[in-house]
Structure 1
Amino acid sequence: MTVLAKTLSLIVSLLIAVPAGGLEEKSPAPIRVVSRDVFIKKGTRPVCTGFITYIHKTKPMLMHCYGFQDYSDGYDDYGYQISRDNGKTWSARVVGWKSEVVPEGRVRYGEHAAFFDRDSSRLIVLTNKTLYPEDRFDNKQVTEVVIDTYDPASDRWSERRPLDLSPGRSIAVSFSFPLKIAGGRLLFPAMRPTIDANNRHVHYPGCWAPLDEALQIIGDFRPDGSISWQLGEPIRISPETSSRGLDENAIAELRDGRVAAVCRGDNSMFPEKPGYKWLSFSSDRGKTWTSPVPFPCTEGLPIESGANGSAFFRSIKDGRLYWIGNLCVRGRRPKGNFPRTPLVVARVEEEPFGIIRDSISVVDEQGPGEPDNVQMSNFRFYQDRETFDLVIFYTRYSERSAENWMDADYHRLRVRLN
């Protein structure tokens, strides 16, 4: 048995003995929900998140993009609306990403990664473009990343084009919150399947999905304002540790100049083992990464988590670092993608790096009578420039029924940080 295997075995025994990482009853953290409402009632199809961001350096102009869900992993009809009064009222919605019928099936767009660059006053949006054979999701299909840019001053979009990532292969963005770090470099979190020496996808035995690896799409501005794109090196993990590899990495630039990435892991093929988010660091601006370790807490063992995405943000009020995601803090252990409740917001200590345990605050969770697989994941958010509140948008899939999981509304949650 390897040292890692022995360590994981010890952690599992501790997890079974005590709901490790669970929250102790302490004084309330200075993070609290101040309002919640249904932003869009479910119609014939539920809303799926796109992005929401300010699109002006100082004015209260927001762009909100969302689409509709046809089936699991099948999204369409993404459109955007603009608010010029900090989200009080919104323009009519304009559809910008619509699927296309082709002889082989349907080409769909999804998983928008959007970043408003204050220096150039441009919105940069990377999106997946994927063929669905006979309009069915197929994880063996090659995904292409396309780029759109938007100029708020002229209200004009660029012509959509493929992003040149040669010699990239089947790169995808998913639950991606991009950053611009010191020196002006753009980092768009991405992922791709791991391949073996014969150029075939690597799988954990019996697993339907390939082993993925996390990496960054790196953008560097040229003197003329155009962007040169390249791929960083991947963060990898063995399939015996995380059966579907590493996906949906959340990134943060730290005060010491490093970049931290927290990746989605997976224990679906061995639920007796712990399921974690996995932490890695880059000291060369997103190019190469350290070997991943379980995302730690400042006190005690790491807290388990299902296979779901997360995000970092730095407070625009005081510069503190925060993390949003799903943690197993109610005694239920992870199994693959679940649980996706509760949704928590927590402060992060930068050195030594970890979640500040007594700051973990539940902002939404499974309510009485709701199914165990109710979801508070796949969220999007922004920080309100006027109130400094965190504003989160998400669809609570399965909130009414586990069987009819798409019968769900699109919610808005406003959280005060201090």
Structure 2
Amino acid sequence: MKRFIAFCCYCLICLPVSCFIHGQDAAPRWKAGVAKTVITPGEAIWMAGYADRDKPAEGKIHDLWAKALHLEDAQGNQVLLITMDLESIPREISGRIKERLKAETGLEKEQVVLNCSHTHSGPLLKNDYTYVYLMDDRQTVLTDNYTGWFEERIVQLGKEATQRAEPVKLFSRNGTARFQVNRRNNKESELTNLTPLQGPNDYSVPVLKVEDEKGNMKAVVFGYACHPTVLSGYEWCGDYPGFAQVELEKLYPGATALFFQGAGADQNPLPRRSVPLAKQYGKELAAAVERVIDEPMRELQPRLAVAYSEIELELAPVPTEKELREYAKELTGYEKRWAESALATVEGGGSLPTAYPYPVQVWRLGDQAIVSLGGEVLISYATRLKELLGEDIFVMGYSNDVMAYIPSDEELLKGGYEIISSQRAYGLPTPWKAGLEKVILDEVMTLSKQVGHDTYHAVKDRIEKRDYRPICEVKRELYLKYPRPGVAPATAMAYLGLGMAREETRGYEQISDWVEDTKRRVSKDNGKTWSDWEPLVKRTQQSGDSIFTEARHIIMFQSTSNPPYDPVSGKLIRSVFQRIVLNDPGEALSSRNFWDHGFYELSDDDGMTWDKSYQLNYEQGADFNPGNWGNPEFLHKNEMYIGNSIALKNGSVAICATIPVPYRDPEDEKYPSIFPNNYREGCVAGVICFVGRWNKTENNYRWEKSNTVFLPRSVSSRGLNELDISELENGNLLMIMRGSNAGLDINEAPGRKWYSVSKDGGLTWEPIKDLRYDTGETFYSSATFHKTIRSSKTGKLYWIGNITLTPANGNFPRYPLQIVEIDEEKVALKKHTVTVIDTRAPGEPEQVQLSNFSVLEDRETKNIEIYLTRYGENGVEEVKGQDVFTASAYKYTLYLH
């Protein structure tokens, strides 16, 4: 059915609940044990991090530390976090440590996280970066000896922490620090103090505070996503994380500060390369932690859950023996040594790895989710996971095994050091196979659900969060209950004219997209009193905000958006969509024999009556004639799916429409055609705008057509549709539209909302771009209806639609429904304003639909009203149209701040 459109693209920012839980003396408590130990090598051994180092370490700036925090909840469940001033840890060493800890403490691998700070001024471990450093026999022995000593030290550290348990309270919150710079999108040598920086970034400073029963701080765990590469010399040092820990332990005597590295693989501290800068960044980070501690934090209840898995992360096809020979001749340095080793393996009858066991781990401490990922994780994973699970989750990279960089699919396509040559430094034969991002995110979501921190929980947190001010409060109330099972009420509300006159259209639906018994009523006092219902036509259809009226084989789709008033003509104007079918209108969608055209209607009595329909044309062809509607010169010309109409400040009006656009890219022929049926072969669904000016002599509008803009089928199989046009404060026009990745690979063509801007009143439109957050981040959105509305209360422009948690698959999922403020200068959604209007509740089907609605601003209260039927709220079985239509209509009132 048409409404069951795959919803998967959610860029929701899910912020956790910030209600403060003040326990009583007899309440259950956490127990915690803390320990720390120096891990500075006693010998001058090689350092890890920089491939151009040519000798072992020489002295130290300060000691390197490993620190442990053991936690136990009220039911006796336990976890152990160990943080280390270490560049990386191989899987082999991590595995041995965890096996020893299991033997001596009983803790399973899912209960233990080993996190490396990734300091580039720390020691090299055995079998790490095998091809990078050319060590002599003595250095090899020293490194092996240090590694054995280090492993024993970490095991005893963890054991010691488990033996120091005492009652504590746990608190969490995120702070902010801004010295990270995206190194893939900003060239270090070209940066100045005035250089605008390119993201993405994640400036979060996650903080976990541990207090004893007297309120004294026992430990503080904090993190940041940024390479510790301020220093590049030959002295042992924890870099900025080390200085931050030193600073915090000075601020809070008796407390242990533990730093964890986040998803900072593509983030550098800039400027850099001096000890004073490392100290500065350390103090900045410590100050951010101090600010969080000094402000109210969220207390975590003593409930603990853990989950762990290893997924086979596939590599790209391995090089052939011939290619390896060429690499061995052409490459230099560690890449040449890697190629020679790989070639020897293949020539000896061995094989190169085609996948890697990648560790994924999720903990839940009370309501605080902590995601730990292996490898050098790029920042986009943190931002996506926060969209999926809530902005206050903690994301750790460099955990349990550091085997390679972990790029997003977008960065994978760009190549570069982190994608190709670094794989060889780690000993892997090829880059990762495309699609790894979805595999990892899906596994995190699976584990999150296992520990009880699933999608709904994140959305619930986002709605209930106390210390985050959403842009509105939302009141939902039942507006019209379904009259009987399998019959859903469909309703739409709109203003008529500039006064208080409202029009409501209503009907009932029991077959997808077809509404029976439609009727209309009018209120002239803003809904206080209403006229009697008057029937529209025998049968109507509703989709988005349009009501469809049948007349034999001709169905008129009458827009129920608030028809704009044009002060030049003194009339209301509304767009009308006509569909002509060859058989019963109820079979139009399944028969796939229909033709669409666009019209407009005018009213000079505030919408009480409307004159005849005028056709809109973008090419030569016959006009509509009811007596000869099958005329090919009409039927096959000027086909379109019409959008909304708008009156502009410059005195003109604009109507947008979807039309067939001939292929510009031969590659389009390879992709499925899911364009509205019987539109022209060899075309994609593009967009055009009609701009009209009132002509007094003709008593009508004279229209000009704009250029057309479109997307290839490889990006949107159904082209562009559900057009919404609005005027920005600067006079530019903004058109937002939905695409659809139905029938495509959702990893290669994620579901998005798209937009174009016109700077000349609608006659010229810029190339289509994907709508993004003001941070530059992308978000997912399914092929669903959406609207913009400007509030007269705030003066701001808002977008209302579905931002989905996972990559959309065509029309689904269709929840949650959000409102977001539009940044009119950047033409982007302001990420921090994303506010949930409604979402899928526990127990409701995944196919629940929060996407078909009408919206208006109450002209008295200035509140925004939304009228929406929650299709699928009581089930989605479609046997004879049942269940999905056992759904009621609701009114949402949005009280904007």
Inter-partner Cα distance in structure 2 for 1:150 and 1:370? 43
Inter-partner Cα distance in structure 2 for 1:349 and 1:13? 32
1:238 aligns with 2:712: yes
CA 1:77 to 1:149, structure 2 compared with 1: closer, same or farther past 3 Å?
farther
1:205 aligns with 2:674: no
Equivalence for 2:656: 189
Inter-partner Cα distance in structure 2 for 1:190 and 1:78? 25
**1:314-329 maps to which residues of 2 (within 5 A)?**
314-328=790-804
Equivalence for 2:254: none
Equivalence for 1:46: 488
Inter-partner Cα distance in structure 1 for 2:646 and 2:777? 29
Inter-partner Cα distance in structure 1 for 2:856 and 2:607? 23
Q: 1:168-200, CA deviations, whole angstroms, 9 ceiling, x for partnerless residues?
A: 621122xx4432112122122321233459xxx
RMSD (Å) for aligned C-alpha atoms: 3.1
For 2:887, what is the secondary structure of its paired residue?
A: coil
Highest CA radius of gyration, 1 or 2?
Answer: 2
Inter-partner Cα distance in structure 2 for 1:383 and 1:8? 45
Q: Does the CA contact (< 8 Å) of 2:848 and 2:870 recur in 1?
A: yes
Q: 1:283-309, CA deviations, whole angstroms, 9 ceiling, x for partnerless residues?
A: 121122111121010125111100112
1:145 aligns with 2:598: yes
**1:283-298 maps to which residues of 2 (within 5 A)?**
283-298=759-774
- Give, in angstroms, the shift of residue 359 of structure 1: 0.5
Equivalence for 1:158: 611
Inter-partner Cα distance in structure 2 for 1:215 and 1:228? 16
Equivalence for 1:252: 726
CA 1:280 to 1:406, structure 2 compared with 1: closer, same or farther past 3 Å?
same
CA 1:40 to 1:63, structure 2 compared with 1: closer, same or farther past 3 Å?
farther
1:281 aligns with 2:757: yes
Equivalence for 2:469: 28
Inter-partner Cα distance in structure 2 for 1:158 and 1:415? 35
CA 1:354 to 1:154, structure 2 compared with 1: closer, same or farther past 3 Å?
closer
- Give, in angstroms, the shift of residue 42 of structure 1: 4.5
Inter-partner Cα distance in structure 2 for 1:258 and 1:346? 20
Equivalence for 1:410: 889
Inter-partner Cα distance in structure 1 for 2:675 and 2:809? 15
Larger deviation, residues 148-157 vs 239-248: 148-157
Larger deviation, residues 206-215 vs 178-187: 206-215
Equivalence for 1:306: 782
Q: Does the CA contact (< 8 Å) of 1:76 and 1:110 recur in 2?
A: no
CA 1:12 to 1:413, structure 2 compared with 1: closer, same or farther past 3 Å?
farther
For 1:137, what is the secondary structure of its paired residue?
A: helix
Letter in 2 for 1:171: M
- Give, in angstroms, the shift of residue 55 of structure 1: 2.1
User: Which runs of 5 or more residues in structure 2 are unaligned?
Assistant: 1-408, 415-433, 446-457, 539-548, 621-636, 677-683, 878-882
Letter in 2 for 1:107: I
CA 1:264 to 1:229, structure 2 compared with 1: closer, same or farther past 3 Å?
same
Q: Does the CA contact (< 8 Å) of 2:672 and 2:717 recur in 1?
A: no
Q: Does the CA contact (< 8 Å) of 2:554 and 2:580 recur in 1?
A: yes
Q: 1:249-296, CA deviations, whole angstroms, 9 ceiling, x for partnerless residues?
A: 222212222111121011122222321111211112112211112101
Larger deviation, residues 90-99 vs 341-350: 90-99
Equivalence for 2:576: 127
Inter-partner Cα distance in structure 2 for 1:387 and 1:307? 32
**1:366-405 maps to which residues of 2 (within 5 A)?**
366-403=840-877, 404-405=883-884
Q: 1:131-154, CA deviations, whole angstroms, 9 ceiling, x for partnerless residues?
A: 233322245522122433334369
- Give, in angstroms, the shift of residue 84 of structure 1: 1.9
Inter-partner Cα distance in structure 2 for 1:349 and 1:90? 38
Letter in 2 for 1:52: M
User: Which runs of 5 or more residues in structure 1 are unaligned?
Assistant: none
Inter-partner Cα distance in structure 1 for 2:531 and 2:834? 36
Equivalence for 2:523: 83
Q: Does the CA contact (< 8 Å) of 2:704 and 2:763 recur in 1?
A: no
Identity of paired residues, percent?
Answer: 25
Inter-partner Cα distance in structure 2 for 1:33 and 1:315? 15
If the length of structure 2 is used for normalisation, what is the TM-score?
A: 0.41
Larger deviation, residues 143-152 vs 67-76: 67-76
Q: 1:356-376, CA deviations, whole angstroms, 9 ceiling, x for partnerless residues?
A: 111100011111221111111
Equivalence for 1:117: 565
- Give, in angstroms, the shift of residue 229 of structure 1: 3.2
- Give, in angstroms, the shift of residue 248 of structure 1: 1.4
For 1:317, what is the secondary structure of its paired residue?
A: coil
Q: Does the CA contact (< 8 Å) of 1:113 and 1:126 recur in 2?
A: no
- Give, in angstroms, the shift of residue 60 of structure 1: 1.8
Q: Does the CA contact (< 8 Å) of 1:325 and 1:377 recur in 2?
A: yes
Inter-partner Cα distance in structure 1 for 2:639 and 2:437? 39
Letter in 1 for 2:588: F
Letter in 2 for 1:124: I
Q: Does the CA contact (< 8 Å) of 1:145 and 1:163 recur in 2?
A: yes
CA 1:154 to 1:361, structure 2 compared with 1: closer, same or farther past 3 Å?
closer
For 2:564, what is the secondary structure of its paired residue?
A: strand
CA 1:95 to 1:235, structure 2 compared with 1: closer, same or farther past 3 Å?
farther
For 2:588, what is the secondary structure of its paired residue?
A: coil
Q: Does the CA contact (< 8 Å) of 2:747 and 2:807 recur in 1?
A: no
1:349 to 819, 823, 840: 823
Letter in 2 for 1:89: T
Equivalence for 1:94: 534
2:639 to 170, 179, 182: 170
Equivalence for 1:217: 690
Q: 1:115-136, CA deviations, whole angstroms, 9 ceiling, x for partnerless residues?
A: 1315255332322221233322
Letter in 2 for 1:272: N
CA 1:213 to 1:363, structure 2 compared with 1: closer, same or farther past 3 Å?
same
CA 1:56 to 1:207, structure 2 compared with 1: closer, same or farther past 3 Å?
closer
User: Greater helix percent: which structure?
Assistant: 2
- Give, in angstroms, the shift of residue 240 of structure 1: 0.7
CA 1:92 to 1:12, structure 2 compared with 1: closer, same or farther past 3 Å?
farther
Letter in 2 for 1:141: F
1:108 aligns with 2:555: yes
Inter-partner Cα distance in structure 1 for 2:645 and 2:808? 27
If the length of structure 1 is used for normalisation, what is the TM-score?
A: 0.84
Letter in 2 for 1:253: E
Letter in 1 for 2:724: A
Inter-partner Cα distance in structure 2 for 1:157 and 1:122? 10
Inter-partner Cα distance in structure 2 for 1:146 and 1:33? 36
Letter in 2 for 1:316: S
Q: Does the CA contact (< 8 Å) of 1:46 and 1:406 recur in 2?
A: yes
Letter in 1 for 2:496: I
Q: Does the CA contact (< 8 Å) of 1:47 and 1:66 recur in 2?
A: yes
Q: Comparing both chains, which one has the higher relative contact order based on Cα–Cα distances under 8 Å and sequence gaps of 6 or more?
A: 1
For 2:832, what is the secondary structure of its paired residue?
A: helix
Larger deviation, residues 404-413 vs 337-346: 404-413
**1:255-266 maps to which residues of 2 (within 5 A)?**
255-266=729-740
CA 1:288 to 1:312, structure 2 compared with 1: closer, same or farther past 3 Å?
same
Q: Does the CA contact (< 8 Å) of 1:204 and 1:244 recur in 2?
A: no
Letter in 1 for 2:554: V
1:270 to 745, 766, 772: 745
CA 1:73 to 1:217, structure 2 compared with 1: closer, same or farther past 3 Å?
farther
User: Greater strand percent: which structure?
Assistant: 1
For 1:178, what is the secondary structure of its paired residue?
A: strand
Q: Does the CA contact (< 8 Å) of 1:238 and 1:245 recur in 2?
A: yes
- Give, in angstroms, the shift of residue 111 of structure 1: 5.4
- Give, in angstroms, the shift of residue 165 of structure 1: 5.2
- Give, in angstroms, the shift of residue 36 of structure 1: 2.2
